[in-house]
Amino acid sequence: DVKVTQSSRYLVKRTGEKVFLECVQDMDHENMFWYRQDPGLGLRLIYFSYDVKMKEKGDIPEGYSVSREKKERFSLILESASTNQTSMYLCASSPSSAPRNEQFFGPGTRLTVL
């Protein structure tokens, strides 16, 4: 069964803290994605990676960085968390070869920055 897991379901951090969100997929997918989800705005792409050590900026990369040292793991890093980064963060993965390029999503991490 396809599986994307995220390290935490809920996280509370203070302004200025460094925050790591981890995502692991067990499907040997080449592509991995980080989105944030805010009410009424849908999902917005932060960063994505199409191979190990490769990364591309999405639509809203400011304030975030990512790391992909292994194929199965894609980390999102908030160098200095701010209150406007309070959101639901969703990780997804997809294979390069599938014609419809379906993305498989993790359950999400709800981050609150105080």
Partner 1 sequence: GEDVEQSLFLSVREGDSSVINCTYTDSSSTYLYWYKQEPGAGLQLLTYIFSNMDMKQDQRLTVLLNKKDKHLSLRIADTQTGDSAIYFCAERDAGNKLTFGGGTRVLVKP
- Which residues of this chain interact with partner 1, rule CB under 8 A? 4, 35, 40-45, 59, 90, 92, 100-108
The closest alpha carbon to 51, from 34, 35, 25, 70, belongs to: 70
CB of 37 to partner 1, least distance (A): 8
CB of 76 to partner 1, least distance (A): 15
Task: Considering the complex, state which of residue 44 and residue 71 has its C-beta at the smaller distance from partner 1.
Answer: 44
Task: Considering the complex, state which of residue 62 and residue 69 has its C-beta at the smaller distance from partner 1.
Answer: 62
Q: How far apart are CA 66 and CA 49, in angstroms?
A: 9
Token pair for residue 36? 């944030």
What's the gap between Cα 103 and its chain centre?
13
The single residue listed with the structure tokens 């160098």 is 79
CB of 113 to partner 1, least distance (A): 20
Task: Considering the complex, state which of residue 81 and residue 91 has its C-beta at the smaller distance from partner 1.
Answer: 91
The closest alpha carbon to 76, from 36, 107, 39, belongs to: 36
CB of 39 to partner 1, least distance (A): 8
